[in-house]
């Protein structure tokens, strides 16, 4: 049959396949071999970061006008997917750089973008995102960190918790209340630098997974910053935070897809080599059914993620629905696929000699951060009930 161009929408464009191939080559050579060590040492993967930086894959989303690679949302999702396939901790380098800088990209002045984005694009600095607090996780509007205007400056006081790459990043998007008592309508966003006086960090959290990506509290004790570090308008921070998450939940979906793919790849290879009862374990129907279910669900999760990424690039009106749906579905799939991968390896899967137990531990966080999957289901339901999505 003759090729029909209208069906190209269902095939990954050549430029994006090239991005996948290039990223996989770097990750197979430089990232995957260090993944187990990164997990065991619970240390930031500096060598993997150097490899990603050398290949311009550490912050691929930043536009060329800011000296970035200028890779679109779909391409960035593919980069994160491929890095996560090799090492979930390392995938948080491009993912969190996008999370931290997205508020600037969406709402900051040109001066603020020009000051900070090139430094991230070059790999000179990373950018983290400070939204959650000890008593304000899903309830973002309940934050207590405050920013008080004082002439040409703001003075920040408070604490943020669960901050990815805290201490490693040079720059932080920080959300704080500028109008206490106003809830979500009184929140603003700022750029805070690690070197600002009064900024400090808590001890690294001891986590189940993604151990190579440090998670710490960030404390602000009379941190005085220039007023021109305000991102967007005062009291528009909540809207900026929610718009950011609409875009970056796609990156978590991509991370989940990558983790699941890594686990499926390993399990499929293992069961073909493992012999029991005189034949390959892969010949048993029960094993085949587990692989088939994993492959089907992974394929569906990938397609949802790519659709959401395309909508992110276009900033479609239904991005909120598709971003939440992709994140929720893909992370649930990742948890199921990695758990089944451990089962397929039997006792070996439960040991650190094999990578699937690490992948299972890493997968769990994708159901929690950037909005728990319970919150995602609330978001999705509201979109449906308010008629904001056409299916």
Which two tokens mark 39? 């997990």
Alpha-carbon gap, residue 299 to 223, rounded angstroms? 47
Alpha-carbon gap, residue 74 to 157, rounded angstroms? 37
Contact 256, 331 (CB under 8 A): yes
Within 8 A by CB and 6+ apart from 200, the residues are 218, 219, 221
CB-based burial, 336-345: b 16+ in 10 Å, e otherwise: bbbbbbbebb
Return the residue matching tokens 């996560």: 84
Alpha-carbon gap, residue 169 to 146, rounded angstroms? 22
- Catalytic center residues: 370
Return the beta strands (E) in the chain as ranges. Answer: 127-130, 146-150, 153-164, 171-177, 187-193, 199-201, 215-226, 230-231, 275-276, 279-280
């Amino acid at each position: 049959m003759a090729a029909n161009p209208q069906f190209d929408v269902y095939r990954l464009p050549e430029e994006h396949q090239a991005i996948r191939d290039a990223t996989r080559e770097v990750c197979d050579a430089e990232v995957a071999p260090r993944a187990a060590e990164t997990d065991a040492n619970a240390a930031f993967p500096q060598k993997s970061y150097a490899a990603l930086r050398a290949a311009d894959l550490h912050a691929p989303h930043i536009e060329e006008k800011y000296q970035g690679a200028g890779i679109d949302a779909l391409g960035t999702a593919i980069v994160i997917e491929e890095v996560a396939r090799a090492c979930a901790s390392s995938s948080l380098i491009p993912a969190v750089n996008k999370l931290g800088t997205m508020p600037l990209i969406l709402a900051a002045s040109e001066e603020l973008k020009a000051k900070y984005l090139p430094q991230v694009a070059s790999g000179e600095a990373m950018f983290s995102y400070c939204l959650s607090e000890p008593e304000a996780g899903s309830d973002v509007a309940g934050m207590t960190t405050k920013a008080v205007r004082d002439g040409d400056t703001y003075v920040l006081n408070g604490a943020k918790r669960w901050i990815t790459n805290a201490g490693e990043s040079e720059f932080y998007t920080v959300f704080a209340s500028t109008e206490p008592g106003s809830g979500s309508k009184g929140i603003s966003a700022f750029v805070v630098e690690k070197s600002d006086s009064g900024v400090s960090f808590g001890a690294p959290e001891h986590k189940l997974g993604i151990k190579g990506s440090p998670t710490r509290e960030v404390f602000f004790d009379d941190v005085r910053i220039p007023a021109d570090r305000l991102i967007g308008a005062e009291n528009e921070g909540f809207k900026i935070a929610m718009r950011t998450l609409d875009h970056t939940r796609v990156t978590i979906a991509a991370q989940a897809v990558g983790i699941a793919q890594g686990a499926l790849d390993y399990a499929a290879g293992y069961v073909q080599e493992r012999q029991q009862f005189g034949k390959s374990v892969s010949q048993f129907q029960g094993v085949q059914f587990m692989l088939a279910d994993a492959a089907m669900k992974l394929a569906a999760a990938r397609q949802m993620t790519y659709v959401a990424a395309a909508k992110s690039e276009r900033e479609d009106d239904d991005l909120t629905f598709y971003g939440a749906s992709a994140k929720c579905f893909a992370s649930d799939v990742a948890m199921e696929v990695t758990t089944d991968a451990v089962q397929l390896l039997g006792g070996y899967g439960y040991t650190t000699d094999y990578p699937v137990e690490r992948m299972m531990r890493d997968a769990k966080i994708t159901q929690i951060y950037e909005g728990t999957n319970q919150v995602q289901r609330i978001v999705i339901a509201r979109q449906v009930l308010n008629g904001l999505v056409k299916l």
